[in-house]
Amino acid sequence: MRLREKVALITGGASGIGKASALQFAREGAKIVVADIDRESSEKVVAEIQAAGGAAAAVVTDVADRESVQGMIAFCEETFGRLDVLFNNAGIFHPDDGSVLDTGDDIWDRVIDINLKGVFLGCRYGIPAMLRSGGGSIINTASFVALHGSATSQIAYTASKGGVLSMTKEIAVEFARQNIRANAICPGPVQTPLLAELLADPQRRQRRLVHIPIGRFANAEEIASAALFLASDEASYITGSTFTVDGGITTAYVTPE
């Protein structure tokens, strides 16, 4: 098992990429803390892991709130004694997030608070716990739009994910010699309930698909597999990396010279 004896905390762990990662990590031997704002869905993920013979616990967390994140890390250490893998995955996409010219301050603040500040707080309070455990792996969910911008205006989301990518690199450099690795996953569009809702209009959906060389959206398990690799000791020499899992989108965005 690739994560035997490790303790992994996953934010946004109740659905989508977070849920798929919790299930995969548990199958590979990790003890899982499912951190999410949705208590009921978190507990369902925990029950599924436990039914398969794994160890898991849920903690209600608002990643944009400092005290809530502090409590999340304390819960992890109190429950399982340590923290080895921190997957800062929680994030939102607001339907009214658009051009820099018309995105409201309230939308900007909410997206930045969850997508960027949430990762910052996770690292601020998670890294000391990892140091107490002798090191570990931090995985932060960025996005392909952090690399090339978005063809569809979404200024707050794109800015938040660009910040996650840059922050991950700085953390990787600062803590590399303390046995902590930090890497960012940059997924393309992932087939989740949120995406299905946002792209319910077939024409809007097709405008997104046309940019994906593989011709389909990712499924959550494919992104979880990338996170599993970065969490494992197989990635022991990988830190500060941009792990792009996007079906070829960013390659298609590059203009040949």
Please tell me which residue in 125, 157, 237, 253 is annotated as part of the active site. Answer: 157
Examine the residue annotation and report whether 157 is marked as an active-site residue of this protein.
Answer: yes
Angle between helices 16-27 and 39-51 (to 10 degrees): 20
Give the end-to-end CA distance of the chain in Å, rounded to a whole number: 45
Distant-in-sequence, close-in-space partners of 242: CB < 8 Å, separation ≥ 6 = 142, 147, 165, 183, 184, 186
Three-class SS of the chain = CCCCCCEEEEECCCCHHHHHHHHHHHHCCCEEEEEECCHHHHHHHHHHHHHCCCCEEEEECCCCCHHHHHHHHHHHHHHHCCCCEEEECCCCCCCCCCCCCCCCHHHHHHHHHHHHHHHHHHHHHHHHHHHHHCCEEEEEECCCHHHHCCCCCCHHHHHHHHHHHHHHHHHHHHHHHHCEEEEEEEECCEECHHHHHHCCCHHHHHHHHCCCCCCCCEEHHHHHHHHHHHHCHHHCCCCCCEEEECCCHHHHHCCCC
Active site residues: 157
